[in-house]
Amino acid sequence: MADIKYILTTEDESRYLKELLRMRLDFSGRLVKKIKYDGQLTLNGRPAKLHEKGRAGDTLCVSYPEEESYFEPENIPVEIIYEDDDLLVVNKPAGLIVHPTKNFQDGTLANALAWHIKERGDKYKLRFVNRLDMNTSGLLIVAKNSHCQDFLTHEMERNAIVKNYLAIVHGTVGEPGTKGTVDAPIDKDPNHVARRMVTPTGYPSVTHYEVLQTIAPSDADLQGFGPSEHSAERNAANGPDTKQAPLPGYSLLKLRLDTGRTHQIRVHMTHIGHPLLGDELYGELYGYGELPPEMPRQALHASHLEFRHPMSGELMFFDARLPEDMQSWLAER
């Protein structure tokens, strides 16, 4: 990882180095404390203390101690679409867990990236800035040091990172170009170990959507559909365990998140009556579990990211093409 350097200005001469780390380099208080004990702080190449001051033109430099990831390297193909000294952007395929869990000890994205680090002869700790469900594909940011992780996490908390998704949902949400917002709090479903639900006492959650394409149902799709009694209001009134009649037709949506709750898109789309194609966890609430499976995973893809680079301040843009399974499904329609 490259050292972090800053050239002091005349305005900086009255401030302690500790203040400059916070004001000029966006270091968190926690990270400043870490630098005090674990990092190396220099001023013009000599060791420096947090409670000293410099002069205009002085070079303030922060170096981090070498760190290593504890994940076991595994030769798993992974698409890295951007990499520099401070971060990675990865296009995660569906079916790959981000990091080891109790039920998945290996074969994860973290294991794949540990192999990448080993092959390049690098040494740094993997710090995932955002997460995706196992069966959601798309873009992930990985920080290579604690400063970048803190900076990007803070940016995400203040909604300064743009995260767009593409999803195929059941039913016709509206004509192409139709836009809407779901502003509905989310929390755990007390009656299910994994599911989340919309509830007035939940955490604030906001999802914006735009209809890109509507797909008419085929004759095969229409088999088994009876008169639909569904409405978002009825679903909200009856609770998350009430099955509703399936909806014919489909919509391709672009979605943008203002918040990042677990399963947020899946919960919000279900709440308004349009569960994601292939989503067994939430689709079964609308009787889709009784229909032939159309896709082996929820049709959800993290397609676009925008954020400021933690070091340069440059605005970065990244896009990941729609994965093959979603492309093929749409092409067949």
Q: Which amino acid is at 108?
A: T
Q: Where are the beta strands (DSSP E) in 223-324?
A: 250-257, 300-308, 315-319
Determine the Cα–Cα distance for residues 319 and 145; give it in Å rounded to an integer: 24
- C-alpha dihedral sign at 185, 187, 189, 193: positive
Q: Where are the beta strands (DSSP E) in 130-231?
A: 137-143, 162-170, 179-183, 186-188, 196-198, 206-215
Q: How many CA atoms lie within 13 A of 310 on its CB side?
A: 28
| Residue tagged active-site, from 12, 58, 86, 133 | 133
Residue 133 among the catalytic residues: yes
Determine the Cα–Cα distance for residues 310 and 151; give it in Å rounded to an integer: 6
Q: Which two tokens stand for residue 26?
A: 């966006």
Determine the Cα–Cα distance for residues 234 and 49; give it in Å rounded to an integer: 63
Q: How far apart are the first and last CA of the chain?
A: 48
Determine the Cα–Cα distance for residues 294 and 276; give it in Å rounded to an integer: 11
Determine the Cα–Cα distance for residues 313 and 332; give it in Å rounded to an integer: 43
Q: How many CA atoms lie within 13 A of 228 on its CB side?
A: 19
Determine the Cα–Cα distance for residues 96 and 99; give it in Å rounded to an integer: 9
Contacts of 91 (CB under 8 A, 6+ apart): 79, 80, 81, 137, 138, 139, 140, 320
Residues designated catalytic: 133
